[in-house]
Amino acid sequence: MSDNNGYFRKMILFIFIVAAPVAAFSVWLVNEGTLNYQNFFILILLVIFPSLALYIKLSQDLKAITKRIETVTNTGLQAERLGVAEVPYLLPADNLLLILQQYHRILRRMLEESRAAQQNTAFLFDKLPDPVLVLDSKRQIVQSNAAAARFFNTENISGDLTGFLRQPALLKAIEKAYKGETSDQNVEITLSDTVVRYVAAYVVNLRSEDAAELQLIVTLHDLTASRKLEQMRVDFVANASHELRTPLAILIGALETLMGPARDDLQAHQRFFDMMQKQSARMSQLTDDLLSLSQIEINEHSRPSEAVDIGQIICSVKNMIQMKAEGLRKNISLELPEQNMTVAGDADQLSQVFINLVDNALKYSSEEAEVKVRVSTGEKSVKVSVIDTGEGIDPEHLPRLTERFYRVNSDRSRELGGTGLGLAIVKHIVSRHRGNLEIESVLGKGSVFTIILPLLPSK
């Protein structure tokens, strides 16, 4: 036998405990003269040897029971009985195994329930619509949900909070929460990215007696849509009242003339009816463009995620606008690379961008001219250039071309049916797609409008 874990020391202690009462009683008998020393030693040996045998047997039984316990906790008592021959034990092994098996079942059920509750909690946390960040006592991000990954446009959300949010008002609120000055706070912040976003941040302190286990929960609620909706209402009323005043005045004047001096002038009727139809169409187009621009601005902070092939969109735009080009005796030529050019975008909005640019190029290019649409790709972006051979634009006007209702030549723009909102719509759609709009123009030679969009990484 080995002396692992003090086997012999424990054996001697066991024998001593068992033999000590007999030895003490034997010594008393020797002192009383009723027992001689020869019988004393025989009596002691008669106690020691059975004690030794009992100790060895109990040790073997305990080892066997330990092995059976391992089997029972893994396979169950009934399976263990079928696989292992019954062994006579001095200890109540089966009762002990039954109790252990019951405890094993209880503990396993509690563990399964705990895991299920943990999974449900993690699932619900990940499905929360607002971004949530959990910070430890050192302002490190230890947990975040799927909404946070979408909000920051990255899957790796970890490290110090200032790597993602550096707004002084929010950091001050977090410091107050750490110091225990307040349990929860609401802070409104502005994030200046490609698109400005307005966010309400809620900071909650999970109180703990141990400072090392202190945690904060930072919840971000995007207010951009509601703020832009409020601004849209104000802008729509202001823009509509200003831009609709002229066509309404023309319509009212035409109606008064038809009802008055020109009541019986049939030749004047046709002229005024044409004027009224033109102004009505302009008002309708103006209203549609205002609503479209407002809707784009509301969603500008939300980047589209659909995979879109730029080449297919350009070809579709050419097919839609080709008839108009032929009516103007002009031509549209395409220069497309062979490879796929996939971006994350909204197909309808991108079509609207290129329709506006090609339509403008057709309007302002010289007679019987050719409008070129040239597409080229780089490592991370695709570039679409719409090139015309029109009059060109004076450099002083270029910075303001994308402003609402800004026109280089107001009379000509209205004559051609322009509302002054086309390039503003283009600018906001491109901004929503996290792209860039570049404008180059030379007086007397023409203009180049270029859209640059980030490519989706190839799989």
Is there a single domain that holds both residue 244 and residue 323? no
Domain with 164 in it: 128-222
Q: What does the pLDDT read at residue 235?
A: 66
Residue 183 lies in a domain: yes
Residue 413 banded pLDDT, cuts 50, 70, 90 = low
Q: What does the pLDDT read at residue 89?
A: 52
Measure the CA–CA gap between 152 and 150, rounded to whole angstroms.
6
Q: What is the CATH number of the domain that holds 459?
A: 3.30.565.10
Give the global pTM. Answer: 0.50
Cα within 13 Å of Cα(120), Cβ side: 6
Q: What does the pLDDT read at residue 83?
A: 46
Measure the CA–CA gap between 359 and 422, rounded to whole angstroms.
10
How many domains in the chain? Answer: 4
Q: What does the pLDDT read at residue 4?
A: 58
Q: What is the CATH number of the domain that holds 135?
A: 3.30.450.20
Is there a single domain that holds both residue 89 and residue 137? no
Is there a single domain that holds both residue 371 and residue 334? yes
Residue 55 lies in a domain: yes
Is there a single domain that holds both residue 61 and residue 18? yes
Residue 457 lies in a domain: yes
Question: Environment class of residue 120 by beta-carbon count within 10 Å: exposed (0-12), middle (13-18) or buried (19+)?
Answer: exposed
Residue 121 lies in a domain: no
Mean pLDDT of all residues in the chain? 79
Tokens (6 digits) for 189? 């912040």
Measure the CA–CA gap between 433 and 315, rounded to whole angstroms.
20
* Structural contact between residues 419 and 410, judged by C-beta atoms closer than 8 angstroms: no
For residue range 115-150, what is the model confidence (pLDDT) as tens digits?
888 888 778 888 888 899 998 888 888 888 888 888
